[in-house]
Amino acid sequence: MTLTLDDARQLDREDPLYKFRNEFYVRDDVIYLDGNSLGLLSKRAEQSLLDMLESWKNFGIDGWTTGEHPWFYLSESLGNQMAELVGAKPDEVVVSGSTTVNLHQLAATFYEPRDSKTKILADELNFPSDIYALQSQIKLKGYDPAEHLIRVRSRDGHTLHEEDIIAQMTDDVALIVLPSVLYRSGQILDMKRLTAEAHKRNIMIGFDLCHSIGAIPHSLDEWDVDFAFWCNYKHLNAGPGSVAALYVNEKHFGQTPGLAGWFSSHKEKQFDMEHTLTPAENAGAFQIGTPHILSAAPLIGSLELFKEAGIENIRKKSLKLTQFMMDVIDQELMEYNFTYGNPMEDHQRGGHIYLEHDEAARICKALKDANVVPDFRAPKGIRLAPVALYNTFEDVYRTVQILKDIMKHETYKKYENKRGVVA
């Protein structure tokens, strides 16, 4: 059966989440498929930021303890609201720092090399920033990253075999840090299985949730994950450079943070100004400095939308969107030498499609000039992320037709096959 624009529109009419599109600033003339890099602004996130500016305007320094969202408790309050998205208890999550700062904090705390257990296990497909942080932490503990950072190899350059990861969980590994969803291919790793295998071998394990938070459900407590960290500007739509978040399993509460700072303090003790830290008795202990209030504020409005929509419903629609996209691609594009780099199975596929083509950089430029916003990943990857809260099945169908027209008429050839400064 040939899929048509009418089929896409029928799916939109049947979509229970379609109404949420009106909550976002979506340009009518642009198809935005880069929400796994930077989510669009919602009207509620905008309003919660404006409300926070008002609190500054009206209260001045008293905004730390007064108003609807007192700043002194905002990091913990937002963590409480986010906990449901990761399957955690409210006091196990705190909104703080950036992704890389939080990884530094967690690695500094939980990477404790001793005796023969001195290595960190990661993977060769991980986002570079995570690798840089782990290399730094190994050096700070007096070891050589070339010898003490193990990176699991990919068999195909796109995905990881969990058996290969488990095989590398050797007696000399002290810590494991892996992505929940691979940023290129969108592969979901089985966090439950990997955590169980790590703990069988007495190894701490944590996950980078940057490409899964807000796109797929998590059960971090049920899986007994030790820690996790993530950004909030992708699927959670909190804005460029928004404050990130972290999770620490309550079984680790009471452990002194590796990188201590003023906001690591127990709230009741913080203004005693003592030079001996009394850490908070929850995930708040893993904060470092003063929270960035205005960069956290959009999360207030954004999280309201996720509570109303429900992460299970978001995941259900996301899978339908990506499957529909692959079906239309199969129908329209296979003669143009595209190949898939993403998993085809629902249980392994995150929130985006990853196509490869030798002319990918110039194809992405042609798409942008045709008012479709994709994401290029060197050397030849095209990421297309139809986001459940604001993208439609019609967006998906039209994107593939535009891409087909670009390939058929070879309009991509007028562009240089080279990425921009920011890809």
Binding site members for pyridoxal 5'-phosphate: 99-100, 127-130, 208, 211, 233, 262, 290
- Alpha-carbon distances, residue 238 vs 46, 64, 224, 242 (angstroms): 9, 21, 27, 6
Q: What angle do CA 86, 209, 377 make, to 5 degrees?
A: 150
Sheet holding 204-208, edge to edge: 93-95, 245-248, 227-230, 204-208, 173-179, 119-123, 149-152
The interaxial angle of helices 43-59 and 298-309, nearest 10 deg, is 140
Distance CA 181, CA 191 (A): 10
Report the binding-site residues. Answer: 99-100, 127-130, 208, 211, 233, 262, 290
Helix or strand or coil: residue 342?
Answer: coil
Tokens of residue 283, six digits: 């995930």
Residue pair 152/187 in contact (Cβ under 8 Å)? The answer is: no
Distance CA 10, CA 20 (A): 17
Residue pair 253/282 in contact (Cβ under 8 Å)? The answer is: yes
